Amino acid sequence: MAEKRRADSVAAAAAAAEAAARERALASTRATLAAAVYFEYDSDELSGDARSTLDAKLPILRANAGLRLRIAGNTDERGSDEYNLALGQRRAASVKRYLSDQGIDSGRMDIISYGEERPVVTESSEEGWRMNRRAEFEITAGGDALVAPR
């Protein structure tokens, strides 16, 4: 009797650990998917770092065929407010183009630009500007059924 109870609790603990591990994997999957890519001043070119960040998303996108993303381009506060909207659009488009060049169906990705209107850092410094020159990723569909790639 006592032995069975112990076995049960061991099994439950194992299941919980497994669930936690799954949850962790899922969380890290989400984080990988959401990881922003950063750009140089007045540029929409993807650096090596940016490519690696995007490459890490590829297996997730391949493992979740129902996943749809919105890619949002952003800029730092310098330069023309309006021109920065166009620059943000170009950044988002550049990310989408890279992902679709890597085989992700472009129909799964929408793009939008927020220009300099949505900074993550409001401080006017090189570091603040660097953090704001980014493309962000938002799941627009298929987020509930997300699975971690094997």
Partner 1 sequence: MIGRRVGRAVATLSLVVTGGCFATRSDMRVLQGDILNFRTETARADSARARQIATVAASLATVADSVRATSDRLTRFQGDTRGELRAIQQQLLQVQELTGQSQRRLQEMRAEMEARTQVPVMPPPVATVPGDSLTAAPVQGTPGPNQLYQLAYDQLRRGSFSAARAGFEELLRSYPTSELAPDAQINIAEAFAAEGTAASADSAYAAVVSKYPRSPRAATALYKMALSMARQGRRPDARTAMDRVVREYPTSDEADLAREWLRTNR
Partner 2 sequence: MPLLRRCALSLVAALAVLLSVAAPARGQDTTVAGVRIGLVYTPGTRPGVLVLPVGGVAGDSIRAILQRDFTYGDRINVIALEPSAIPPFGDGSSKPNYPLFTRLGAAAILEVTPTSFGIQVAVHNAGKGLVERTKAFPLPAGTLSANWRLALHDVADEIELWVTGVRGIAATRILYVSEGRVYQVDSDGANPTPLTGAATAMSPVWNPKATHIAYMTMGPAGQQIVIRESGGATRVLPTRNGLNMTPTFAPDGNTIVYAFGAESGTDLYATNAFGNEPARRITVGRGSDNTQPSFSPDGRRLAFTSGRVGHPEVYISDADGTNAELLTPYNFGDQSYRANPDWSPDGRLIAFEALIGGRMQIMSIGLRDRVIKRHTSEGVNEQPSWAPDARHVVFTSNRGGTRQLWVLDVESNTVRQLTRALGARFGAWSPRSVVASSVGPSPTPTPPPQAQGTCHESWTSRTRPLGTRPRRRLRLPEEAGNDVDPGDADA
Interacting residues toward partner 1 by CB under 8 A: 45-46, 97-98, 101-103
67 or 95: CB nearest partner 1: 95
We find the least distance from the C-beta atom of residue 36 to partner 2, in angstroms, to be: 20
Q: Are residues 123 and 20 in contact, defined by beta-carbon separation less than 8 angstroms?
A: no
d(CA 150, CA 135): 26
Residues that bind partner 2 (CB under 8 A): 42, 78-83, 85-87, 89-90, 93, 96-97, 110-114, 117
Gyration radius of the chain over CA positions = 20
8 or 81: CB nearest partner 2: 81
Q: Which of 23, 17, 105, 11 is nearest to 62 (CA)?
A: 105
Q: Pick one of partner 2, partner 1, none as the site partner of residue 74 (Cβ within 5 to 8 A by kind).
A: none
We find the least distance from the C-beta atom of residue 94 to partner 2, in angstroms, to be: 9
Contacts of 50 (CB under 8 A, 6+ apart): 37, 38, 39, 95
We find the least distance from the C-beta atom of residue 114 to partner 1, in angstroms, to be: 24
